[in-house]
Amino acid sequence: MAPDLTESSRRDCAPFLRWAGSKRSLLPILQTFWTTKHKRYIEPFAGSACLFFAIKPPKAILGDLNPELIATYIELKYRVAAVLQELKKLRPADKEEYNRLREIDISSLMPPARAARFIYLNRFCFNGIYRTNLLGKFNVPYSGSRCGNVPKDEAFQKCSNRLRRARFISGDFESVLKHVKRGDLVYMDPPFAVRARRIFREYDPSAFTHKDIARLRSCMERLDAAHINFVVSYAESDEADVLRKGFSHEVVSVRRHIAGFAAHRALTNELLISNV
């Protein structure tokens, strides 16, 4: 049975995080890769996990190199009420509050408060970007009330219910892919490492580099040899040419929202590469 691609179905459980490079606009296409033959969903570069929330898989593994992101998902899965209680203590869309939270020593916070801090900073930072300095300290500037409000409690509850179907791995994408098996659908949406043009990455520079392209390609070949379905999304580039060789692919247009001014937010081409 083909998935329901109506607007209401896609927004039934919207992600609670904003995320640079999110594929929300591609959900009508991406959802078609998930079929009734798939039993589990795997995503090694989770980010906002918008495809996970949209397709409602019965089981999933979500991984990411960002430990604060994974810790937030775990708190929302098991202790959503405590996270919501901590969020209500924070002044909404307040620059002073934002800067206070950004500077705070996260080791001094209990896990629910730490998750609430992450959600707050994500909501009100510039363009949903996650970036740290060399000391690993979050340093994205405040964006303001134009980012909208923190989602309502009901939205967090829905996400929490959905996250109960998932297990989480904090680490490199290969550590996640060690757990794949027949019947899985693997979706990989790594940060772009494109030599030909400047791409702002939401992680620190060590997160995904040109050297990782070869590792990713090797993983794709291993998945294909094991008859495990995968989809990779990547910016149209020489690097993407390496990834797509021998696999099915299609070009899609995506509006990027990283530029500082709306006039510079143009459509760019990305590739969806798969063995499906």
Q: What angle do CA 266, 64, 153 make, to 5 degrees?
A: 80
Of 21-25, 48-52, 204-208, least confident by mean pLDDT is 204-208
pTM score of the predicted model:
0.88
Is 98 within 8 Å of 124 (Cβ atoms)?
yes
pLDDT band of 114, cuts 50, 70, 90: very high
State mean pLDDT over 245-269: 73
Cα 64 to Cα 173: distance, rounded to the nearest angstrom: 7
Which sign, positive or negative, has the C-alpha torsion 273, 36, 63, 29?
A: positive
Q: Report residue 22 as tokens.
A: 């999110």
Beta strands 184-188 and 40-43, pairing class:
parallel
Q: Report residue 30 as tokens.
A: 């991406």
Cα 15 to Cα 76: distance, rounded to the nearest angstrom: 12
State mean pLDDT over 122-144: 90
Please report which residue ranges of the chain form alpha helices under DSSP H.
Answer: 7-10, 27-30, 50-55, 67-78, 80-87, 95-103, 111-124, 153-163, 173-177, 210-225, 238-244
Q: Could you tell me which residues come within 8 angstroms of residue 139 by beta carbon, excluding any fewer than 6 positions away?
A: 102, 131, 132, 133
State mean pLDDT over 78-86: 98
Amino acid in position 131:
R
Beta strands 166-170 and 60-64, pairing class:
parallel
pLDDT tens digits, residue range 180-233? Answer: 999 999 999 998 765 544 444 444 545 678 889 999 999 999 999 999 999 999
| Average pLDDT of every residue of the chain | 88
Is it the case that residue 244 has pLDDT exceeding 70? yes
Taking residue 199's Cβ as centre, other Cβ atoms within 10 Å add up to 16
Beta strands 229-235 and 267-274, pairing class:
antiparallel
Taking residue 110's Cβ as centre, other Cβ atoms within 10 Å add up to 12
Cα 26 to Cα 133: distance, rounded to the nearest angstrom: 31
pLDDT band of 254, cuts 50, 70, 90: confident
Cα 217 to Cα 244: distance, rounded to the nearest angstrom: 9
Q: What angle do CA 26, 78, 66 make, to 5 degrees?
A: 50
pLDDT tens digits, residue range 136-183? Answer: 889 999 998 788 899 999 999 999 999 999 999 999 999 999 999 999
Taking residue 74's Cβ as centre, other Cβ atoms within 10 Å add up to 17
Q: Could you tell me which residues come within 8 angstroms of residue 26 by beta carbon, excluding any fewer than 6 positions away?
A: 233, 252, 254, 270, 272
Domains of the chain and CATH, by start? 7-66+164-274 (3.40.50.150), 84-158 (1.10.1020.10)
pLDDT band of 38, cuts 50, 70, 90: very high
